[in-house]
Amino acid sequence: MRPIIRMSGIDKMFGSFRALHEVSLDIGEGEIVVVIGPSGSGKSTLIRCINQLEVHDAGTIEVDGHLVTRGAGLAAVRAEVGMVFQSFNLFPHMSVLRNVALAPVRVRGLSWSEANERAGKLLARVGLEAHAQKYPGQLSGGQQQRVGIARALAMEPKILLFDEPTSALDPEMVGEVLDVMLKLAKTGATMVIVTHEMGFARKVADRVVFMDGGRIIEQGPPDQMFDAPRDPRLRNFLNAVLSH
């Protein structure tokens, strides 16, 4: 599998707090990697470095062969990396359809009619074609997050990042979002997912990465990670999240 993301020796400081400690991780094209770990372990920071929502202090990141740095190349990298946020971050003053169609027009140069058509198809794919003309504030959390996924997909990115996509949802809405992600996983998309949904991780992941204290502690296929964890920190973490 050709690596499409290569991170090596990534350091990130927030003031005097070291959020990432020489983290290295390669992710293959079409691979689905789920990153788990306790809060503050650096999982979100790690994936936010991939599209530079956080600027790393040391180390190198390559996306599809392009070095990720500040400057002109960054826009090209971001165009290939879609992101779904914990708090959705939809644009509240635009219709759902326009939320999805905006970036293809502004970044890819599509006409509005082309972009609206693409947006309509994507909204159908996430089961929201009936809500295209509504505003985000009129939708439930689960619906908003599905719009968030459609918006990321509209750029036809090579990589999709999910930053705790279900953590802000009421429990009864988690399933509808995970279903959409599961369908997406079957299309061969490259996905990097930070989540606390362990059942979902086991079902969807090619590889599970466990982080603690800004380091990758253990990684492997889901069966091995969940059924035969080696590091005591992973075992403690799994006990804590699976026992309730």
Partner 1 sequence: MSIFETFLNWDVFVRVLPLLLSGLWVTFTLGLLAIVLGLAGGLLLALLRLYAPTPFRQLTIAFIDLFRAIPILVLLVVVYYALPFLGIRLSPFAAAASSLSVVSAAYSAEIFRAGIQAVAKGQFEAAKALSLSPFRTMTDVVLPQAIRVVIPPITSNAINVMKDTALASVVAMPDLLKQATQAQALTANPTPLIGAAVIYLIILLPLVRLVALLEKRMAAAHR
Residues contributing to the site for partner 1 (CB under 8 A): 51-53, 75-76, 78-79, 81-83, 85, 87-93, 102-103, 106-107, 151-152, 155
Min dist CB 192 to partner 1, Å, is 13
- Check if the beta carbon of residue 181 is closer than 8 Å to that of residue 202: no
Name which of 89 and 224 has its Cβ closer to partner 1. 89
Q: How far is CA 226 from CA 187, 206, 207, 219, 234, in A?
A: 25, 13, 11, 11, 9
Min dist CB 49 to partner 1, Å, is 13
Q: In what order do the strands lie in the sheet with 159-163?
A: 81-84, 159-163, 190-194, 32-36, 207-212, 215-220
Q: State the sign of the Cα–Cα–Cα–Cα dihedral 185, 221, 173, 168.
A: negative
Name which of 83 and 198 has its Cβ closer to partner 1. 83
- DSSP H stretches of helix in the chain: 43-50, 72-79, 96-106, 112-125, 141-153, 171-185, 198-204, 222-227, 232-242
Name which of 92 and 199 has its Cβ closer to partner 1. 92
- Check if the beta carbon of residue 205 is closer than 8 Å to that of residue 34: yes
Min dist CB 36 to partner 1, Å, is 22
Write out the DSSP string of 61-96.
Answer: EEETTEE--SSHHHHHHHHTEEEE-TT----TTS-H
Other C-beta atoms closer than 10 Å to the C-beta of 5 total: 24
Name which of 70 and 244 has its Cβ closer to partner 1. 70
Min dist CB 114 to partner 1, Å, is 17
Name which of 92 and 221 has its Cβ closer to partner 1. 92
Min dist CB 79 to partner 1, Å, is 4
Name which of 61 and 152 has its Cβ closer to partner 1. 152
Min dist CB 218 to partner 1, Å, is 29
Residue position matching structure tokens 């770990």: 37
> Which residue, among 43, 24, 31, has the nearest Cα to 3 in the 3D structure?
31
